[in-house]
Amino acid sequence: MAPAAPATRHLTVLYDADCPLCVHIRHWLLGQQQLVPLRLVPAASAEARRLFPHLAHAETLREITVVGDRGQVWTGTDAFIVCLWALAEHRPKANWLATPAGRPFARAALYTASAWRQAVRTEGGPADEAEVAEPACDDHCAPR
């Protein structure tokens, strides 16, 4: 029998500080009872670059990114589910959203939020424009 993996002690959520929806969700997350503590850091900020020098920071502005205390990285739909999993009231929903039956709903929620975000995001975030490149996409990229 393999030893159990150590429990996740905290998660860092990289959010777009130039997006009103992202800032609202940040405040909402901070107001929830957390089973796993969440640290919320503006994406592509100096703090994010210091904490996670290995990340493609321009990409963290394009889609939600969550980093675990053991170096795990979740993006897109997976990051959305992990955020809910960290919350006492929403863990059962996160567990369901992670199933094949629930995943399409998580993907649709993220797609809707991404479309709204693109419509309201203010210009000129902390990312260096020269660093922003087209992302490699799969089914969870934000619409353009």
What are the extents of the domains in the chain?
A: 11-123
In this structure, what DSSP letter does residue 123 have? S
DSSP secondary structure of 118-138: HHHPPS--SS-GGG--PPP--
Q: How high is the mean pLDDT of the chain?
A: 84
Greatest CA separation for the chain: 52
**pTM of the entire predicted model:** 0.78
Q: Which residue has the higher pLDDT, 113 or 96?
A: 96
For the cut 50, the answer to whether the pLDDT of residue 47 exceeds it is: yes
Q: Which residue has the higher pLDDT, 114 or 56?
A: 56
